[in-house]
Chains A and B, each alone.
Chain A
Amino acid sequence: MAELTYREAVIEGIAQEMRRDEKVVFLGEDIGKAGGVFKATVGLWDEFGDLRVRDTPISEQAILGAAMGAAMTGLRPIAEIMFSDFLAVCWDIVTNQIAKSRYMTGGQVDLPLVIRTANGGGARFGAQHSQSVENWAMMIPGIKVVAPSTPADVKGLLAAAIRDPDPVIFFEQKSLYATKGEVPDGEHVDEIGKAKVVREGDDVTILALALMVPRALEAAERLQAEAGISASVVDIRSLVPLDTQTILSQVKKTARVVTVEENPRLCGWGAEIASIIAEECFYDLDMPIVRITTPHIPLSSADELEDAMIPSADRIFETVRQEVD
């Protein structure tokens, strides 16, 4: 095991797959010589060169369109969209083209590609560079949606995404880039579509994704220490496919469930999961399902405002303590 940052794990995941498979190519704005605006691609251009790591113009439709055309003719491209907010300017390529082409052509087209993007808030960037948009992607049939919370998951799930025969959007939480964690040595490939129980508990299940996972874990420790409440924490990791088995079994065990979502309230991923729980294990529940989300507002840039809007460990702790009591 080596200790890596989340951003180093991105580099390692891409490098591992590019060394293994010549078909893997990488394109995006400032990803090559400059090493990426989040420094999450440093060294890749030096190792793999101009032909495989290609800087692009500021042309998001061209970036994703080219990735699609290359994927459907035999390459395995990784495309970077610098901030997930910018998916809005190339959403046609994502939702109308990439997501639907296999289906619409009766299965003629393969689209093994990965869209990597920096997602989420916490960096005081304001409403156009801070959104959590994983729920946009979750609504579209035909794309897999992954959002890791630890360096080990970044490397393993990114490798799995690159090897996946279907298109994957890979959401990297930008406030996590500097965080550290143990990453297995040697080749590391995880499985997309499996949630992880990161803390076992008996009284309540907290479902979380990406940046919300460390905050849920911190809250769970305090719930144990300060309120005697034993919380399970499930890292969802992949919204599509969704590991409902793991989620439902934890909910049945604890009979209480809270979702913690960074996205604004309406149509957040927690709403879909809450509806599945309500349909499939309503009678196992001892309390209504609770959703903790960013309010349904755009994010502000001021420290105090942004911090007060995105669910914090404090807010998770307080909400769970009140609801479970």
Chain B
Amino acid sequence: MAKKAGAKKKAPDKKAQLNDDIGEENRLTMWRLQLEVRQVEQRLHDLFFQNLIKGTSHLAIGQEAISAGFGAAMRPDDYTFCTYRGHAHTLVRGASMTGMIGELMGKECGMLKGKGGSMHLTDVEHGAMGSYAIIGAHLPIAAGAAWQAQYNKTGQIAACFFGDGTTNIGAFHEALNFAVVWNLPVVFVCENNLYMEYTPISEVTAVEHPAADRACAYGLPSIIVDGNDADAVFRVATTAFDKARAGGGPSLIEAKTYRYSGHSRADPATYRPEGELEEWMKKDPIPMYRQRLLDFGVKEDVVSGIEEAVLKAVDEATEEAKASPPPPLESAYEDVWADGGASWRN
């Protein structure tokens, strides 16, 4: 349309943009959640190199916008099911940082009392129903939690997060078909970070988009979202959750993203082509979101105030975890059974 002569170029209404369908409160929440995830992951990485954390860990640095976007869109009583790369998804539900850092350090204060470690973080009280380390297993389990919500008409949904590599195991396909035929309120989210452990997903997958291109096999629309943009993730999450709560059944969402570190602590990620990491770091979700908030007129001191508060919380949690004793030896014989014990005979 031709511009009216003499019409003044209107400045964008920042307030209106900030308070669109997502709104300022959700945006500040997502800002905080992304920072919490990044800061905790970086701290865990440091603690590993100080040998204060043993075993393994799978960081989600670079993928924060997905957990933050979905986390902010969830109701407190919704269920999260995630993988061994699950620190982020557990944290965004409101799990204790001390409990998380302590668990990785093998301390009594750990959220699993030192019995699970990095790959099994769970906080049932906050709806974080577990981190699952056998590829694919938690997809049908999430469907079962959604069945409960459907049966009891609670309006809850189950959100289930997994990687691109997981789309090639049978449990993925069983769970998708099952959830569709039972019309369950479950949202399956594939975080496509381009790699399984070390092999590029494109080398081992029959289709280009490992999740989205399979959706049609289950009568579902193909949904792809920019997994580095928390706002885009929040919108796609809200749409899928609303549909599930309204009885519209499951969704399958593929979020495109990238992990900055190797698959796990042991992996220097030398298999990645030169320059790939650098290209993705230009799309880093955190500086991008910071700039968006400033562009929307959020004051610099509000933005940096959240940064400082998160760092302080991570520092405090680290010290608390360090100060916690190891779990008592008797605890190894607790909680096999509902009676609290481990007895298999009389």
Contact = CB atoms under 8 A, between A and B. Distances in A.
Contacts of B177: 57, 59, 62
A142 interface: yes
A62 B140 contact: yes
Interface residues of A, number: 49
A297 interface: no
Contacts of B344: 141, 240-242
Interface in A215-264: 240-245
B323 to A, nearest CB: 19
Interface residues of B, number: 55
Nearest to B110: A106
Interface stretch (A94-102, A120-128, A149-157, A314-322): A94-102
B178 A75 contact: no
A69 B151 contact: no
Nearest to A165: B338
A208 B116 CA distance: 38
A317 B336 CA distance: 40
B181 A166 contact: no
B241 interface: no
Interface string A85-112: 0000000110011000111111111101
Contacts, number: 163
B214 to A, nearest CB: 16
Interface string B150-170: 011000001000000000001
A65 to B, nearest CB: 2
Interface stretch (B28-36, B126-134, B196-204, B223-231): B126-134
Contact of B141 (A97, A106, A107): A97
Contact of A65 (B113, B125, B171): B171
B342 A141 contact: yes
Contacts of A67: 144
B234 interface: no
A265 to B, nearest CB: 22
A102 B335 contact: yes
Nearest to A74: B148
B111 interface: yes
A64 interface: yes
Contacts of B112: 104-106, 108
Contacts of B147: 66, 69-70, 75
Contact of B336 (A61, A77, A141, A243): A141
B124 A109 contact: yes
B115 interface: yes
Interface string A149-181: 000000000000000011000000000000000
A65 B122 contact: no
A72 B151 contact: no
A189 to B, nearest CB: 17
Nearest to A99: B336
Given A66-B143, A93-B140, A73 B340 contact: no
Interface string B69-100: 00000000001010000000000000000000
17 contacts: A59-B178, A61-B136, A61-B171, A62-B178, A65-B140, A65-B175, A69-B148, A70-B144, A73-B129, A75-B151, A92-B134, A93-B141, A97-B134, A97-B137, A104-B112, A105-B122, A241-B344
Interface of A: 25, 51, 54, 56-57, 59, 61-75, 77, 92-93, 96-97, 101-110, 112, 141-142, 165-166, 193, 240-245, 276
